[in-house]
Amino acid sequence: MLVTVPFVLLLLDYWPLQRFELNTQGPTLRKILRLLIEKAPFFALSAASCVVTFLVQRACGAMTSLEKGPIEVRLANALVAYVRYLGKTLWPSDLAIFYPYARFDLGSWQVIGAALLLLAATAGAVLAHKRRPYLLVGWLWFLGMLVPVIGLVQVGKQSLADRYTYLPHIGLFICVAWGGAAIFGSLKRPRLAAAAATALVLAGCAVITARQLSHWRDARTLFAHAAAVTSHNFVAYAVIGNELAEQGKLTEAIEQCRKSLEISPDYPEAHNTLGNVYSQQGNYDEAVLHYTAAATDRTYADPRNGMANVLVKQGKYAEAEVQSREALQLAPMHLPAMFCLATALHNQAKLDEAADYYRRILALNPNLFTPHRNLGKIMVTQGKPDEAIAELSRALAIQPKDADTHTILGVTLLGKNRTDEAVTQFQEAARLQTTNALANYNLALIHQERKQAREAVERFRLALKAQADWPESLNNLAWILAANPDATVRNGAEAVKLAERACQLTDYKEPLLVGTLAAAYAEAGRFPEAVSAAGKARALALAAGQKEIAQRNQELLELYQAGHAYHEKE
């Protein structure tokens, strides 16, 4: 709007500075030319600003083409908008954050009435310019400053906007201030009358302001008010729908978006919100339909990102990668699209590129939990435990109650032989999530290695409670119950059940597990079966080239043949 400044300065030259007069004498024309040259730098800046603004708005798709908004429609809307601005200045009611565009016909009574009113006001100001020059200056200030935003060059979907009146209002208030001074000056007690009038106006404005501010509690309240005081406000319905969707009120969100689309069937934001809602509901086909409709706006990145998210949920990672890249071409700083692309790359094992995008996300916002965690996972996979530990620790600093991340960090620390630190992580994971099988399993292994049989048994039982058919947990618990040196810990019958289940799950093809079954049979006093199982374990080990395991089972077989169970030494 500041592109109008050089014209405003010329108005001020006319009044109150009185630097030229409107006549045809030579000296006055030279004076006017000098004043124009004086403003040349401002005219140059204004021209440059207009060009840049035009190019940027057109490039980002905010500018309406003449096909969609013919010049006669724009002119009609501009005339009505001027009068509406005047009306809201004098009587500020039914103010809204968004006024939908109205397509008036040049021959409609609203347009003709607005044109006549503007012509009358302009004619009055011109006729009164000698006695009251402030009326002409103030009125032209108002008319002129609104020109860039009156809709002749249509940017956005609004027909008018309250925020556009801030600077043009100065012109109207010039008329009010000097005109009021003239009126009150003719009264007997001008100051008292002026003070009373001012107090009354300010009190009214305070009341209206308080009421208007009450609508600005949140987006839903603000746009609900806009929908109530305007008609066919498809933008308001779409925003309310999006707010409801973010609050998890999906049915109500669908209803509001459909209201928006009834008014404007192609409105991208409403289609995009419906896509988000259906995606949350798992109705992916319907979600894609609405994302596709929203994507007809070739400048809109969100629906591409929405489609990418749906494809990730469907496991179609290559297709998700394509959609995410398209979204980022439109909006290079689009964090959700960046994260979706990183996820798609991660799941395609394109780890270096995925890690690069996670780092880009964290460079923009280092306080995001998931990118730190996923980057840590990539570092684990790439065999970079120190970097993995650093990233996983950062993730837990942001979200300390994530059991899975504690578990991954624990496993990584264990790989670095930092056992005590690993125990702390596994214990926290198990505390946060008692059904965390991996945390309990790793704690059981550590207890088993430290000869803490009872603690190991308890942790193996918790692991199996969460994941009943885990061969390693079944086997290790069976071994403790069969071979522990403490008779109060051993339980041959239970050891047999556990070991048999582990062998069933692996089709009796793992020599280590079959060897544990043999030890369990021996502890249960079932020596013929123990001998048979030990022989099978020996044969499987020899076939697999595991000579040490084969030799060990041969020794145990001889022990079982002698009618003795195997127990570990203290």
Q: Are 287 and 304 in contact (CB under 8 A)?
A: no
Residue 83: is its pLDDT beyond 90?
Answer: yes
CATH of 473-570, one of 1.25.40, 2.40.50, 1.10.287, 1.10.3470: 1.25.40
Q: Are 534 and 553 in contact (CB under 8 A)?
A: yes
User: Which residues lie across from 155 on neighbouring strands?
Assistant: 63
Cis-peptide, bond into residue 148, ω within 30° of zero:
no
Each residue's pLDDT tens digit, 421-459: 999 999 999 999 999 999 999 999 999 999 999 999 999
Closest among 111, 48, 46, 122 to 80, alpha carbons compared: 111
Each residue's pLDDT tens digit, 464-499: 999 999 999 999 999 999 999 999 999 999 999 999
User: Which residues lie across from 158 on neighbouring strands?
Assistant: 100
Q: Spell 267-290 as b/e; 16+ CB within 10 A means b.
A: bbbbbbbbbbbbbeeeebeebbeb
Each residue's pLDDT tens digit, 121-141: 999 999 999 999 999 999 999
Residue 26: is its pLDDT beyond 60?
Answer: no
Distance, in Å, from the CA atom of 201 to the CA atom of 175, rounded to the nearest integer, reads 16
Q: Are 478 and 517 in contact (CB under 8 A)?
A: yes
In the numeric block, the tokens 């692996």 are attached to 506
Helices (H), 264-331: 268-280, 284-294, 302-313, 317-330
- Residue 81 class from Cβ within 10 Å (0-12 exposed, 13-18 middle, 19+ buried)? buried
Q: Are 402 and 412 in contact (CB under 8 A)?
A: no
Q: Spell 216-244 as b/e; 16+ CB within 10 A means b.
A: eeeebebbbbbbeebebbbbbbbbbbbbb
On whether the pTM is more than 0.85, the answer is no
Residue 106: is its pLDDT beyond 90?
Answer: no
Q: Which fold has domain 366-468?
A: 1.25.40
- Count of residues making up the chain: 570
CB atoms under 10 Å from CB of 177, counted, come to 13
Q: What are the extents of the domains in the chain? A: 2-185, 366-468, 473-570
Each residue's pLDDT tens digit, 309-325: 999 999 999 999 999 99
Distance, in Å, from the CA atom of 334 to the CA atom of 301, rounded to the nearest integer, reads 8
How far CA 494 is from CA of 1, 448, 455, 478, 533, in Å, comes to: 84, 18, 17, 7, 17
